[in-house]
Structure 1
């Protein structure tokens, strides 16, 4: 390592650590406002809050790294240019890329760290954060018994304290409404002059011991005449009420319950999820196409097996699955026979709007269209179908109306009913697929986008080095003023592009892969242009040329006006 590399490394490490911490803190505070309502008032310990913040900080590392690299690179090169050190390097024959070599190495290391965090650490951290937040959201707020306030923290109980001593144990003028039996019309009220409250069994129970009070119970009017209105009043010297505090304690659920979320998957898991979703889409399309075979047997059947059901299964599981399939097939055949009987007898009430009798049409079609290995009974039914007057009369093809005119009115009604049932069934299947497929495709696009964003967030670390360092050489200002302003502009552009590309991908405007890489594809030419401008000591906005153009235009106007004045007689 040369002296130049050591100088750049020492100048870069300090601002990078500071800006990385500031960026991480700002992004964390922005995210924390979203969960403040869920965390406040739950009585969480300091270590639990620190654990949540640590999990969330890990998830913000890929977003804070590019911002820290951008700000620190602008600061380092801006300081060198401001103190004419960069000009000295260039006069000694050192190019700008040679000066940036150390920063490029830091950018490559940051890109590797960003990808490692996105693919290995962040999924586990998001999984733990999601599980802890779910536990916190399910937890009730901390029990707070304030005097003069009706407390409804306990389920079906309302408690009001008239006064409370300084020790937090002695209470007076206690009023408790009990609604545990309100569904049967029984209401209970407890009134006591004084008492005490405390927790027992390590905080598992809340005990209220009341003295010198009354209990009033009112029941729903009953009896044959409805005039019986029993009312009970009980006086007591001591009354103890115990409440369960388990609902106020934090329960930890298994983190595996939340492991299917996209933000909790690594790249290979996202890739498997994309393949699984694509297979689900293909299976749904196959089911829709094969469903048409019940009504159009001329169509070829799609026999592609997308998933092997018997892989990694024992023989007992296979036998049980076959037994269940045979029972289901038998029930389907019975339903189809019942539906066909309902149609043949003219009972149209058995045909629902969703095509309940489509199995009947399937059964009728299978009797007309023979297959290999059919029984003699099916062959007889096929022969009878061929000799039917509807088939025989259709030889010269007089048209559908003429064919239907040749059958009996009762048969014509049954044909119409079967046609309506078939149309409803096919339409229902198509509408169901059209309603479900967009949601499944959107989930697949989100998986693809998140998978490629892991790579894109790593590559943008290197791109920001080629934006920040040349910008520092151009603006020639160090410190936190101009560098932060310049860096925020480019970082906001990057965030806007990221959000825009996500929306475009979810709206099926662009492909998920292209949407994930679009911010890098847009910023990469910008970084090359800024780097070339800094290497040539050019300005981003050349005001001299604009001034010269303005002067030429102004002089031309004056010459033209002078010529017009001279040409006048």
Structure 2
């Protein structure tokens, strides 16, 4: 009997492997296509080396792995257990007196192993990949487009020059009817150059030589007198110019020299940042506790109307001769002018204190939101990989109950479940970032609910326990 169970368990694990790999690589392909569609405009037209583009794609594959693996687990589970039930193998097990839970157990253990591996990957590999991808994106964004002249179109891609060419022969790199404006930069005089023909000769990736033939140049030279320029006219048969293209070459920076965000840090680093933020919040609160001012009470115990500096208008203070207020020091002076000076000083100090209080509150709230973002990311590194276990608990009984092991039916159910899962996860992250809920609730609520639903369905399938029976027994 044990050998029979072991064979079934191994067979069921093998049935998971093919749909898991198929779904995993299909999802990776779809996510990759989505990435390329979103960012293709940033890569085209900048003469970026192919190896850099490949590295950018590879580094972005890391987050796709974390997303695709749990989704592939759900599809594979629905297909494997659906086929298992469709072939009436579950009925044969029950007839033999074998608990179906023994069939689910090895698959559940495999999902826990996958969860551990994916959590390690998410905490150690993913942050470094995100940091490198982010650094490459910044380098690509800072790179200028390549040298790209077009007929009858002004081109100012090279710093200090503006080109206008009537016709271009792409086969020979020849230019015709050239007009060139040279700006007064880098010890160059302002110039206006016209030539009948030109020839572009490349000098590596850093420079480009332009040979101008049969033309005229006008140089605007600064004269000795103030605000007076001299114009120098030259006719030439051949004039050679060297254009600096170093600004257009791709310059790669060191990712370690860039600041890290919550997406590019491991859990330990984020916990250290969270601890420092908590310490800063406590420092802010200690500072305010040592500089607390006492506001007047809303009701004066003496029975007479009291003075509230937040409600008194300036005109009111000017038109009265004597003021009675809860400040005993003020009442000791008989002249209204002296009393007014005390009142205005009180108002000034209260406004100053209110400004400090609002500033401290804003600083504390800003730090609380940063803490929430880091804690959300820490929980996310575990909650998303843990979905592998959740989808086994939920997908196994659903697959058994549907009794269909085809890909179409499994994909349909998976689409509905995953849509609800990701929407809940995204909304939970947003609510936690805005301090409406805790990061723990935001990242784990759906996992807990889906796990409870799956455990209930497994109990329903493997035992005679029913919730309806429990309520009937109470009645």
- What TM-score range do you get, normalising by the shorter chain? 0.7 to 0.9
- Inter-partner Cα distance in structure 2 for 1:416 and 1:247: 64
Does residue 56 (structure 1) correspond to residue 65 (structure 2)? The answer is no
Matched, 1:196 2:199: yes
Distance 1:147 1:537, change over 3 A: farther
Structure 2: distance between partners of 1:90 and 1:222: 106
1:126-162 residue CA offsets vs partner (Å, 9 max, x unmatched): 1111111111111112221233332221124221222
> 1:555 — aligned with what?
none
- How many angstroms apart in 1 are the aligned matches of 2:251 and 2:358? 43
- Residue deviations 1:247-278 (CA, integer Å, cap 9, x gap): 21111112123342101111111111110111
Q: Counterparts of 1:94 and 1:207 in 2: how far apart (Å)?
A: 83
Structure 2 counterpart SS, 1:95: coil
What secondary structure, in the 3-state scheme, does the structure 2 residue paired with 1:405 have?
coil
Preserved contact between residue 196 and residue 210 of structure 1 (Cα < 8 Å): yes
CA-to-aligned-CA distance 1:407-434 (integer Å, 9 cap, x gap): 9x5x768656654553343222122223
With structure 1 as the length reference, what TM-score do the two structures score? 0.69
The alignment's C-alpha RMSD in Å is 3.0
The match for 2:43 is: 39
Q: Is the 8 A contact 1:157 1:180 kept in 2?
A: no
Q: Does 1:403 align with 2:406?
A: no
Partner of 1:445: 372
Q: How does 1:354-369 map to 2 (within 5 A)?
A: none
**Number of the residue aligned with 1:213:** 215
Contact 2:376/2:433, CA 8 A, preserved across alignment: no
Shift of 1:221: 12
Structure 2 CA distance for aligned equivalents of residues 127 and 168 of structure 1: 43
Change (3 A) 1:176 1:405: farther
SS in 2 for 1:143: coil
TM-score (norm 2): 0.82
- In structure 1, the residue corresponding to 2:391 is in which secondary structure? helix
- Kindly indicate whether the alpha-carbon contact (under 8 Å) linking 2:131 and 2:260 is maintained by their aligned counterparts in 1: no
Q: Which residue of 2 aligns with 1:426?
A: 353
1:88 deviates by 2.3
Q: How big is the shift at 1:68?
A: 0.5
Asked if residue 93 in structure 1 is aligned to residue 20 in structure 2, the reply is no
Tell whether 2:389 aligns with 1:481.
no
How far the C-alpha of 1:69 sits from its partner, in A, is: 0.4
Offset of residue 17 of structure 1:
0.9
1:216 positional shift: 2.9
Other structure's SS at 1:158 match? strand
Q: 1:510 to 1:146 in 2, by over 3 A?
A: same
Q: Which residue of 1 aligns with 2:171?
A: 167
Shift of 1:83: 2.3
| In structure 2, distance between residues paired with 1:211 and 1:164 | 15
- For the Cα contact (< 8 Å) 2:331–2:339, is it kept in 1? no
1:23 aligns with 2:24: no
Instruction: Give the match for residue 319 of structure 2.
Output: none
Contact 2:150/2:165 (8 A) holds in 1: yes
The correspondence of residues 299-318 of structure 1 with structure 2, limited to 5 A, is none
CA–CA separation in structure 2 for the residues paired with 1:150 and 1:502 = 48
**Residue 331 (structure 1) aligns with:** none
SS in 2 for 1:477: coil
Instruction: After TM superposition, give the deviation of residue 444 of structure 1 in Å.
Output: 0.6
Cross-structure match for 1:379: none
Structure 1: 5+ residue runs without aligned partners?
297-396, 540-569
Range with bigger deviation, 118-127 or 275-284: 275-284
Of 101, 125, 128, 2:132 maps to: 128
Match of 1:497 among 424, 436, 450: 424
| Inter-CA distance 181–6: structure 2 relative to 1 (3 Å threshold) | closer
- Alignment deviations for residues 441-482 of structure 1 (CA, whole Å, 9 cap, x no partner): 111101011111112122221010011121111111122110
